[in-house]
C-alpha cells in the first residue's frame, strides 16, 4: 500500500499557487480566416483588467494580469496599475510587440536595416519604462523574426543583431526586473526563425546574465517534443522563468491549457513539483497565453486556471518516496505506476474542498454563470469598439 503525501501539505502548496492571465485572452481573437466577435468583450485595457479580476474573484488563484503593448497602451500606466490594485489584481508581465508594424517585414531586432533595429529595440526599452510605472517584474520578449528563403539574409549576422538588442535591453533593466525570453519553432517565418527553440533562448539568456530566463510557451514546439525534459533541464540550470500555458493539437493552436493533452500538463507540473518550484517565491511565472476564438472567454479562462490546478494537485499527489525507491531499484513498471496512480486520481473533490475552506464557491464556473457578470458586461459594453489584436 502506498502512503499518500500529507494532504495538508498538498493543500498548502495549492493555496500558494498563482496563475497569471493574459489581457488579450479577454479580447476578440480568431484565425487569419475569421474573427467571431463576442458580446461583452472589453473595449479598453481597464475592461480587460476588470475581467481578469473577475477570474481571480472566482478562482482565488489568478491575482495578476499580463499586458501587451501596444494593445494595452494607455496615457497613465500608474493610474492603470492603481485601477488594477483596487480591483484586487496586479499588473504582471509586460509583453512586447515587434511583429505588427509594416517596418518589420524583414525582421525587428534582426532586421538588416539599423534604423529599424533601433526602432524595435526602443520599443523594448519603452516596455521597461512601462514596467517601472506598473511595478511589473517581467519583460516578456517574443520575436517573430526570421527568414523565409535560404540566402535571404545571413543567419549568423542575425544572431549578432539579436544579441546586441538583447544586451541593450538587459542593461536597462531595474534591479528587480527580468527578461523572459520566449522562443517559437516557426510561423510567421518558415525557413529560419531567429529564436526557434529553448536551446537558442537559453544560450542568449546565459550570455545576458542572471536576470534573463527562458519562457516556455507550450504551443511553440515541433509535434512530439518532450516539453517536460526542457522543464527539467532548465530548472536544473536555474533558467526557467515562465510558462505561457496553452494547448495544441497541431501547431500554435492557443487552445485552453490541459484541453488537448492533460497528461502532458501533469508531466510538466510533475517536474515543477520535483524541483520544489511551485511556490511564487521560486520565481516562475505561470502564465496563460491563449485565445478563445469560439468559446466564451471568461469561463474558458476560469476553466484553464482550474486545469492547471488539477494537473498540479495530481503532481503533488505523486508519492515521491515510493517513486524514488522504485527508480533506485530499477523497478520500471512500479515507478511508472506511482506516477499513473497520481495522474489517475480524481482531484476535483480535493480542489472543491480547498475552495470551500477559502470561502470560494467550489464550482467557479457555475458561480460565474450565476453571478450576473456576463449579463452585466453584455449590457454595459454594447457600444464602442471591442478590443482585439489591433487594439
Ligand atoms: C505570440 C507569443 C507571445 C504573445 C503573443 C500574443 O505568439 O506567444 O507570448 O504575447 O503571441
Ligand atoms: Mn506566448
Each residue's pLDDT tens digit, 327-382: 999 999 999 999 999 999 999 999 999 999 999 999 999 999 999 999 999 999 99
Residue pLDDT, tens place only, 298-316: 999 999 999 999 999 999 9
CB 46 within 8 A of CB 75: no
Among 26, 66, 142, 248, which residue has the most ligand 1 atoms within 8 Å of its CB, making it the best to mutate?
142
Which of the four pLDDT bands, split at 50, 70 and 90, describes residue 3? low
Pairwise CA distance, residues 297 & 25, whole Å: 7
> Which phi-psi region, left, alpha or beta, contains residue 277 (left: φ > 0; alpha: ψ -120 to 50)?
alpha
Average pLDDT, the chain: 97
Q: How far is CA 298 from the centre of its chain?
A: 16
More confident residue, 306 or 5: 306
CB 381 within 8 A of CB 40: yes
Ligand 1 site, residue 293, Cβ cutoff 6 A: no
Q: What angle do CA 347, 342, 306 make, to 5 degrees?
A: 35
CB 210 within 8 A of CB 184: no
Residue 385's contacts (CB-CB under 8 Å, 6 or more residues apart) are 43, 391
The per-residue pLDDT for 389 is 79
Say whether pLDDT at 2 is over 50: no
What atom of ligand 1 comes closest to residue 95's alpha carbon?
Answer: 10
What atom of ligand 1 comes closest to residue 217's alpha carbon?
Answer: 8
Rounded to the nearest whole angstrom, what is the distance from the C-alpha of residue 325 to the centroid of ligand 2?
A: 37
Which residue spans within the chain are E strands per DSSP? 20-22, 64-68, 90-95, 138-141, 146-147, 178-182, 192-193, 212-217, 240-245, 285-288
The per-residue pLDDT for 352 is 98
Which of the four pLDDT bands, split at 50, 70 and 90, describes residue 1? very low
**What percent of the chain lies above the pLDDT cut of 90?**
98
Which of the four pLDDT bands, split at 50, 70 and 90, describes residue 6? confident
Residue pLDDT, tens place only, 227-270: 999 999 999 999 999 999 999 999 999 999 999 999 999 999 99
Q: Which residue is listed with cell 464557491?
A: 361
Q: Residue 258, SS3?
A: coil
Ligand 1 site, residue 24, Cβ cutoff 6 A: yes
Indicate the DSSP class of residue 186.
Answer: S
Pairwise CA distance, residues 327 & 89, whole Å: 42
Ligand 1 site, residue 77, Cβ cutoff 6 A: no
The per-residue pLDDT for 292 is 98
For ligand 1, atom 3: residue with the closest CA: 142
Ligand 1 site, residue 138, Cβ cutoff 6 A: no
Which of the four pLDDT bands, split at 50, 70 and 90, describes residue 138? very high
Amino acid at each position: 500500500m502506498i502512503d499518500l503525501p500529507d494532504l495538508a501539505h498538498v493543500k498548502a502548496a495549492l493555496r500558494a499557487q498563482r496563475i497569471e492571465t493574459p489581457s488579450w485572452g479577454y479580447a476578440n481573437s480568431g484565425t487569419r480566416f475569421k474573427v467571431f466577435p463576442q458580446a461583452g468583450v472589453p473595449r479598453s485595457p481597464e475592461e480587460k483588467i476588470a475581467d481578469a479580476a473577475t477570474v481571480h474573484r472566482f478562482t482565488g488563484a489568478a491575482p495578476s494580469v499580463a499586458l501587451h503593448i501596444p494593445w494595452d497602451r494607455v496615457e497613465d500606466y500608474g493610474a492603470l496599475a492603481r485601477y488594477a490594485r483596487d480591483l484586487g489584481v496586479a499588473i504582471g508581465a509586460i509583453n512586447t510587440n515587434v511583429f505588427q508594424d509594416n517596418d518589420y517585414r524583414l525582421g525587428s531586432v534582426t532586421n538588416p536595416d539599423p534604423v529599424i533595429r533601433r526602432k524595435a529595440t526602443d520599443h523594448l526599452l519603452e516596455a521597461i519604462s512601462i514596467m517601472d510605472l506598473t511595478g511589473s517584474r517581467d519583460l516578456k520578449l517574443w520575436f517573430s523574426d526570421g527568414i523565409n528563403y535560404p540566402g535571404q539574409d545571413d543567419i549568423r549576422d542575425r544572431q549578432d543583431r539579436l544579441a546586441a538588442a538583447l544586451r541593450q535591453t538587459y542593461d536597462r533593466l531595474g534591479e528587480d526586473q527580468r527578461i523572459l525570453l520566449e522562443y517559437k519553432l516557426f510561423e510567421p517565418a518558415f525557413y529560419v526563425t531567429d529564436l526557434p527553440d529553448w536551446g537558442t533562448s537559453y544560450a542568449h539568456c546565459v550570455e545576458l546574465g542572471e536576470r534573463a530566463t527562458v519562457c516556455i510557451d507550450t504551443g511553440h514546439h515541433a509535434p512530439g517534443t518532450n516539453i517536460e525534459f526542457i522543464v527539467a533541464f532548465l530548472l536544473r540550470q536555474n533558467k526557467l522563468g515562465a510558462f505561457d500555458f496553452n494547448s495544441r493539437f497541431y501547431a500554435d493552436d492557443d487552445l485552453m491549457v490541459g484541453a488537448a493533452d492533460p497528461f502532458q500538463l501533469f508531466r510538466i507540473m510533475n517536474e515543477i513539483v520535483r524541483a520544489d518550484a511551485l511556490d511564487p517565491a521560486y520565481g516562475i511565472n505561470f502564465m496563460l497565453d491563449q485565445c478563445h476564438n469560439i468559446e466564451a472567454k471568461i469561463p474558458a479562462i476560469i476553466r484553464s486556471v482550474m486545469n492547471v490546478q488539477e494537473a498540479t494537485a495530481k503532481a503533488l499527489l505523486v508519492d515521491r518516496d515510493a517513486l524514488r525507491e522504485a527508480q533506485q531499484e530499477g523497478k520500471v513498471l512500479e515507478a511508472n505506476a506511482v506516477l499513473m496512480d497520481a495522474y489517475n486520481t480524481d482531484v476535483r473533490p480535493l480542489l472543491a474542498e480547498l475552495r470551500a475552506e477559502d470561502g470560494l464557491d467550489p464550482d467557479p464556473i457555475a458561480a460565474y454563470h450565476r453571478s450576473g457578470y456576463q449579463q452585466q458586461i453584455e449590457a454595459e459594453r454594447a457600444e464602442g469598439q471591442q478590443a482585439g489584436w489591433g487594439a
